[in-house]
Structure 1
Amino acid sequence: MRLVLAACLVAMPAALQAQAPMTGDEFDAYTQGRTLTFSSGGVPYGIEQYLPNREVIWAFVGQECRRGKWFDNGGQICFTYEKDGALQCWIFRETEEGLSAQFQDGTGAGTELVEVEQSSEPLSCPGPDVGV
């Protein structure tokens, strides 16, 4: 019994570490060169393409693309987008299913997103920014 308990205690830090918030370097390594699709509560939410130099292109489902940048802010990954400028910070965690993200709105009840698809193809941006 003690051997089983000891084995569980040794394995626990690895399991907890998998749920630890991603650092900026970890997030960059996971996302750069990829286009990720996210859902919220099982409903499609948006798609983001991750470019070099921590630049991104984001589109809510059915809406126009917006260019932006992200940066590490002490355990949060924060984004700013052109034409908006509002700071949007998330805590990202890598899970067995992909990324999970919790919006940091100050209430603890922010939007939760999960990665549902990953591609190396660029984000298609119809509309005013055709060819982005």
Structure 2
Amino acid sequence: MHIRLKSILIVGTGLAMLAGAGFAEVPMSAQAFDDYTRGKTLFYGQNGQAYGAEEYLDNRRVRWSFLDGECKEGAWYEEAGQICFVYEDNPDPQCWTFRMTPGGLSARFEDLPDATELYEAQDIGEEMLCLGPRIGV
């Protein structure tokens, strides 16, 4: 992991704790989420560790990676105040509640809200590394 990303993850952890102290009570609307994310590649952290990155494209399309070189194409939509994602390898929606915090986005996975909460680590203005399909034996 790059030293810069690691230090931002540590700062992001502190900001995520501030968010839990009442800074981010209102979930983002679909329009606010789209306005904030469209055209960006955001890196997410969890518990001080890199978790993954998502590229937000036009027409609510996304590309997700767990930072392993494999990327999954998908799309998002709003349902009942949550932002739901479906990906090419999993048509079951994964719904999140996003909130704006002093350090960026905070996301709570609504299917397991106690298990998964992510925070925006950084928008570094770079593309994610997607290696393409594996070919051969």
Class of the TM-score when normalised by the shorter of the 2 chains: 0.7 to 0.9
Identical positions, percent: 46
Equivalence for 1:83: 89
Give the count of matched residue pairs: 114
Alignment of 1:37 with 2:43, yes or no, is yes
Structure 2 residue ranges without an equivalent (≥5)? 1-21
- Structure 1 unaligned residues grouped into runs of 5+: 1-15
Matched, 1:21 2:22: no
Query: Which residue number corresponds to residue 66 of structure 2?
Result: 60
Query: Quick one: which amino acid aligns to residue 121 of structure 2?
Result: V
Task: Kindly report structure 1 stretches of 4+ aligned residues shifted beyond 6 Å.
Answer: none
Secondary structure class of the residue paired with 1:21 = coil
Aligned equivalents of 1:45, 1:17: Cα separation in 2: 23
Q: Distance in 2 between matches of 1:45 and 1:37?
A: 8
C-alpha distance in 2, partners of 1:99/1:76?
Answer: 14
Task: Provide, for residues 38-79 of structure 1, a one-character-per-residue CA deviation record: whole Å limited to 9, x for no partner.
Answer: 011111100000000000000012151000000011210000
Amino acid at match of 1:121: E
User: Do the aligned residues in 2 keep the contact of 1:78 with 1:89 (CA within 8 Å)?
Assistant: yes
Give the aligned partner of residue 118 of structure 1: 123
Residue in 2 aligned with 1:4? none
TM-superposed CA distance for 1:96, in Å, is 0.6
CA–CA separation in structure 2 for the residues paired with 1:108 and 1:45: 16
Taking the aligned partners of 1:102 and 1:54, their CA distance within structure 2 comes to 19
> TM-score normalized by structure 2?
0.76
Deviation (angstroms), 1:127: 3.1
Counterpart residue identity of residue 133, structure 2: P
Letter in 1 for 2:114: A
Distance between the aligned counterparts of 1:45 and 1:28, measured in 2?
21
| Pairwise CA distance, 1:109 | 1.2
Bigger RCO of structures 1 and 2 (CA < 8 A, at least 6 apart): 2
